[in-house]
C-alpha cells in the first residue's frame, strides 16, 4: 500500500466519523452532497460552500439514495425501496425486495441516463453468495423491479458508462469488478471480468464512471480511490486518510471536485489511531470531470 505522502491525498470535508458512510450523491440545485450512514440509520446532507450539515433518521439501515426527478429519492432499506422526501422528512415504502431472504439487505445503487435505477443486494453477514443485481423503473402503474444477475456476497457499484451501453458491478469480498453490455431496453448480457483487484490494494467497493468512461473505484481496506481506464488499466490513484473507502461522487461547478465516503466499521484501535477521521466525508480535486447526476424518470398515470 502506498504511503499517504507519496501521491495526491484527499482532505477531510466533513468530520462526522460515521460507522458506515456510503452512497454520496451530488445535488447540483442545492450545491450539496447527500450520503448515508448505513449502520447509523441516517441520511446526511452537507453543503460544502456553507459548511452546513443536516441529517434525517431512517426507519432502518439505509444503503443508498437514488434521486428522482420530482426532488425525492428512492432509498434502499433492508426490506425494499422507499420514497424519501427530504422536505417532509418522510419514508414511504414503494416496493418489497427479496422478502423471501430476511438475511439480505440492499446495498449501493446508481441511476443511468435513461432514468432507470440500478442496485445490488447482499448477505448482511457477508458470508453467503445470496445477493443479486436489480434495476427499477417507473411506469404509469408505479415502480417495477427487474432481476438481472445473482451469486454476489456483497453486490457493490453499480455504475453505467457515459453512453449508457456498459454497466459495472462489484462483488467486493471476491475482489472483482464485472462489466456487462447494457441494451437500450435495460437488459444485461456478456458478463465478464473488468478488473481483479489484488488483495494488497484492498477490495472494490463503490464504483462510478466519469465523463470519459474511466471507472473510479473506492477500496475497502485499501485507503485509496483508484481510477481505471475503459480498458481496465489503472491510470491514477488518490490516497484517502481512511482505511475503508466506500464511494466517490463528483460535484462542484465543473464536476471535478470528488467527495468520498468512508467507514469505521470493523477497524481496530490501532488502525483508528492511524486514521482517526475514518467514517468522515473527504474531498480531492480530480483530473477528469464526473458525469451529471441522472435522476429516476417518472411516468404520469393516464
* 79 among known catalytic residues: no
Of the residues 79, 112, 205, 210, which is catalytic? 205
C-alpha distance from residue 286 to each of 8, 9, 52, 122 (Å): 10, 11, 23, 30
Are 217 and 244 contacting, i.e. CB atoms less than 8 angstroms apart? no
Residue 260 cell numbers, joined:
468520498
Are 241 and 1 contacting, i.e. CB atoms less than 8 angstroms apart? no
Q: Can you tell me whether residue 173 is helix, strand or coil?
A: helix
DSSP assignment string, 222-260: T-EEEEE-TTS-EEEEEE-SSSEEEEEEEESTTS-EEEE
Torsion-angle region of 17 (φ positive above 0: left; ψ -120 to 50: alpha; else: beta): left
What is the Cα gyration radius of the chain?
17
- The catalytic residues are 205
Amino acid at each position: 500500500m502506498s504511503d499517504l505522502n507519496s501521491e495526491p491525498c484527499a482532505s477531510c470535508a466533513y468530520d462526522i466519523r460515521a460507522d458506515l458512510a456510503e452512497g454520496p450523491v451530488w445535488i447540483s440545485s442545492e450545491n450539496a452532497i447527500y450520503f448515508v450512514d448505513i449502520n447509523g440509520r441516517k441520511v446526511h446532507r452537507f453543503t460544502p460552500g456553507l459548511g452546513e450539515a443536516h441529517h434525517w433518521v431512517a426507519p432502518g439501515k439505509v444503503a443508498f439514495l437514488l434521486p428522482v426527478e420530482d426532488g425525492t429519492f428512492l432509498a434502499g432499506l433492508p426490506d425494499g425501496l422507499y420514497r424519501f422526501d427530504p422536505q417532509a422528512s418522510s419514508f414511504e415504502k414503494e416496493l418489497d425486495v427479496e422478502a423471501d431472504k430476511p438475511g439480505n439487505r440492499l446495498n449501493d445503487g446508481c441511476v443511468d441516463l435513461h432514468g432507470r435505477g440500478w442496485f445490488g443486494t447482499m448477505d448482511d453477514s457477508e458470508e453467503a453468495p445470496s445477493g443479486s443485481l436489480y434495476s427499477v423503473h417507473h411506469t404509469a402503474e408505479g415502480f417495477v423491479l427487474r432481476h438481472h444477475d445473482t451469486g454476489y456476497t456483497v453486490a457493490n457499484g453499480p455504475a453505467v458508462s457515459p453512453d449508457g451501453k456498459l454497466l459495472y458491478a462489484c462483488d467486493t469480498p471476491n475482489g472483482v469488478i464485472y462489466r456487462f453490455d447494457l441494451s437500450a431496453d435495460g437488459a444485461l448480457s456478456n458478463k465478464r471480468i473488468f478488473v481483479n483487484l489484488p488483495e494488497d490494494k484492498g477490495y472494490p467497493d463503490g464504483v462510478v464512471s466519469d465523463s470519459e468512461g474511466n471507472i473510479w473505484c473506492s477500496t475497502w481496506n485499501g485507503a485509496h480511490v483508484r481510477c481505471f481506464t475503459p480498458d481496465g488499466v489503472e491510470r491514477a490513484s488518490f490516497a484517502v486518510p481512511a482505511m475503508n473507502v466506500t464511494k466517490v461522487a463528483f460535484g462542484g461547478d465543473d464536476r471535478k471536485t470528488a467527495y468520498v465516503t468512508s467507514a469505521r466499521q470493523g477497524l481496530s484501535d490501532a488502525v483508528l489511531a492511524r486514521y482517526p477521521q475514518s467514517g468522515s466525508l473527504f474531498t480531492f480535486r480530480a483530473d477528469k470531470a464526473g458525469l451529471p447526476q441522472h435522476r429516476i424518470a417518472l411516468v404520469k398515470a393516464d
